[in-house]
Structure 1
Amino acid sequence: MLWLLFFLVTAIHAELCQPDAENAFKVRLSLRTALGDKAYAWDTNEEYLFKAMVAFSMRRVPNREATEISHVLLCNVTQRVSFWFVVTDPSRNHTLPAVEVQSAIRMNRNRINNAFFLNDQTLEFLRIPSTLAPPTDPSVPIWIIIFGVVFCIVIVATMLLILSGIRQRRRSASLEFLQISGTRESLTSLGASCLTSCLHGAPTSNL
């Protein structure tokens, strides 16, 4: 009797979890790509962990708090580590809607990735879009960055004003020097002309 029940349950599970079945999702892992020589073997323990993470994610969905590990079914597992999975509702003997499963996975994607030391590129849920990583708080507060930028702008503007003032004063000094030099040359020329006129205009004495 127990054997009959076991085979019956197995047959039901096989019918629910099939490639491209309704509400089924394909998963593909790239352990070697992600971990290199430290890649671990995908075995029944890893499958159990995956089921546990999916069940954990489903339990965070409203009205799915009773989800158990046994409700997550895996099938068509390959050596290159790809498989299909569904989440079942034993009370009704059918799979949960894909929308609910997708929402649960997306909401807990980072937790699932971290459990296997993978990321969205090496742990792929083919029918579930990747989620953006949550924004990280910068190590330096934003107001300090803004203050630094403004402070640098003020310093640069001040330096430009100072340099502009120095150049202006030098230009004014050069113009003033040229004016003074021109005045001196004019006065010298005028004095020489007057002296020459005086010498030519003076009467000569008779011997």
Structure 2
Amino acid sequence: MLRVSLLTLSVVAIAHAELCKPDAQNAFKVRLSIKTALGENAYAWDANEEYLFKAMVAFAMRRYSSKSTTQISNVLLCNVTDRVSFWFVVTDSSKNVTTVPGSEVEAAIRMNRNRINSAFLLSDKTLQFLKITSTLSPPVEPATPVWLIVFGVVLCLIVAGIVFLVVSGIQKHKKKTKESTERENLEEKGEVTVTVENGIPCEVLDLKAGHVNGVFAADDERFTPL
């Protein structure tokens, strides 16, 4: 009985070795950059981490298909390197000597990619399934709603327009006040201004100062009786 059990285990081990090897059918390569992602907080990749990886893959397979009965023992790892890279396959739980089609494994991994990344504190860039394309990250929503940003821009434009109109009005008022003051000063000093009528410059007499036309003054003196 013991010999039969040992023989069975040997056959299974040989079969598993054939199933899980580089570039084997339905096999996937994984590369982890733990040091790059976590720096001083990086953890060592050991048997416990391998167990967690197998558990996460089994979880992904079960979550992908309600009919799946994948166990941790159905996830095989091989060619593990110190720089943390390895190959894995998922065997059929009913036969255990054949692998689950790669398309199903890929779909399950893609569906649960964020859960797997979170388990190892990594991202798509630091936990790479080389034959499985990265999942698209959900769009990042801005902290401030778009409508509020647009409203703020419009409000700023309105305020800027009001300020411009107020400043322009003040400048025009100052200019008119200055011109009016200068005109009043000229009138008070009795200065003669020249206007143009029909293209001919004409002097405007300052009646307040009693300006007398010299021509008429000469005539008056000539006809004055002795």
- TM-score, normalisation: structure 2: 0.77
Q: Which runs of 5+ in 1 are unaligned?
A: none
Give the Cα–Cα distance (whole angstroms) in 2 for the partners of residues 140 and 164 of structure 1. Answer: 35
Q: Counterpart of 2:193?
A: 185
1:37-116 to structure 2, matched below 5 A, reads 37-92=40-95, 93-116=97-120
Say which structure is richer in helix.
Answer: 1
SS in 2 for 1:60: helix
Structure ranking higher on relative contact order (CA contacts 8 Å, 6+ apart): 1
Distance 1:175 1:104, change over 3 A: farther
In structure 2, C-alpha distance between the alignment counterparts of 1:184 and 1:67, rounded to whole Å:
111
Instruction: Using the TM superposition, give the Cα deviation of residue 44 of structure 1 relative to its aligned residue in structure 2, in angstroms.
Output: 0.6
- The CA distance in 2 between the partners of 1:186 and 1:85, in whole Å, is 105
2:148 aligns with one of 144, 149, 155 = 144
RMSD: 3.1
Aligned residue pairs: how many? Answer: 207
Is 1:15 paired with 2:18? yes
1:43 shift after superposition: 0.5
Percent of aligned pairs with the same amino acid: 51
State whether residues 20 and 76 of structure 2, in contact with CA within 8 Å, keep that contact through their aligned partners in structure 1. Answer: yes
Task: Indicate if the aligned counterparts of 2:71 and 2:93 stay in contact, CA closer than 8 A.
Answer: no
Give yes or no for contact 1:58–1:64 (8 Å, CA) kept in 2: no
Q: Does 1:159 align with 2:167?
A: no
- Alpha carbons of structure 1 residues 158 and 100: separation in structure 2 relative to 1, 3 Å: farther
Answer yes or no: is the 8 Å Cα contact 1:16–1:94 preserved in 2.
Answer: yes
State the distance in 1 between where 2:113 and 2:100 align: 19
Q: Mean Cα displacement is larger for which, 43-52 or 158-167?
A: 158-167
